[in-house]
Amino acid sequence: MKHLPRRPVLKTLGATVALPWLESMRVLGAEVPAAPPKRFAFLFFGDGIHPPEWWSKGNGDTLELGPAFASLEDVKQKVNFIHGLAHPGEVVGGHARGAAGILTGIQPRGGRQIQAATSLDQFLARKFGEETVLPSIVLACERPVSGFHESGYSMMYSSHVSWSSPVSPVPSELYPSLAFDSLFESKSSRTHVSVLDHVLEQLNDTTRRVSQSDRSKLDEYA
């Protein structure tokens, strides 16, 4: 008798009506769930912070949070605060180029020729990106600024913290609705196929892998 994993059946047939128990299924719990994908999120905001409110003290059960982190109080046992990290002033100094150095760790080149470096988030996306729907997604609240700053640096640096290469900033998405579509829809993928078409396709594949007795049961639900 062929053994059909329970997980694929539940995934592919979950959009249909309830199905009978199939003898080709393995015992529930026999399959070890896959580990969740690794994720990295980076938040950047300009103009700095208010130091009297931006602090943490202690660790574990004795961890105390400043007013700026009050919203993390309920989950502070899962949070690590790392102190003392900083870039040299020449890397992040100045409004015109500071943002570009935060995740690249380098001082961008002045003048008309863009020269930064691949940013940390994009290195991680290349390593772990295949585990998620999108390798990375960059969101922003404002449109990029064009032109040159009076200090001689391209305003491209001030508008981008994520860089796929030394000369290519990662475009940012401004609209939440489009960001949602990027995550949950793809015109070039099979997710735009109707649910029924997708289920029938998977049902046919499942039917070929089960016993004759199970095929008869599935035919009653097709």
pTM of full prediction above 0.85: no
Non-local CB neighbours of 102 within 8 Å, separated by 6+ positions: 44, 87, 92, 161
- The chain-wide mean pLDDT, for the chain, equals 79
Can you read off the two tokens belonging to residue 133? Answer: 């729907």
The 10s digit of each residue's pLDDT in 4-23 is 555 555 555 454 445 555 55
Please give the residue that has the higher pLDDT: either 202 or 123: 123
Sorting pLDDT into bands at 50, 70 and 90, what band is 91? confident
Question: 136 and 125 in contact (C-beta within 8 Å)?
Answer: yes
Please give the residue that has the higher pLDDT: either 193 or 187: 193
The 10s digit of each residue's pLDDT in 18-77 is 555 555 554 444 455 578 888 999 999 888 889 999 999 998 888 999 999 999 999 999
Non-local CB neighbours of 19 within 8 Å, separated by 6+ positions: 9, 13, 217, 218, 221
Least confident range from 5-14, 151-160, 161-170, 198-207: namely 5-14
Percent of the chain with pLDDT over 70: 77
Q: What is the pLDDT of residue 14?
A: 52
Q: What is the mean pLDDT of residues 155-175?
A: 92
Can you read off the two tokens belonging to residue 184? Answer: 């949950």
The 10s digit of each residue's pLDDT in 110-137 is 888 889 999 999 999 999 988 888 899 9
CA distance 108 to 157: 8
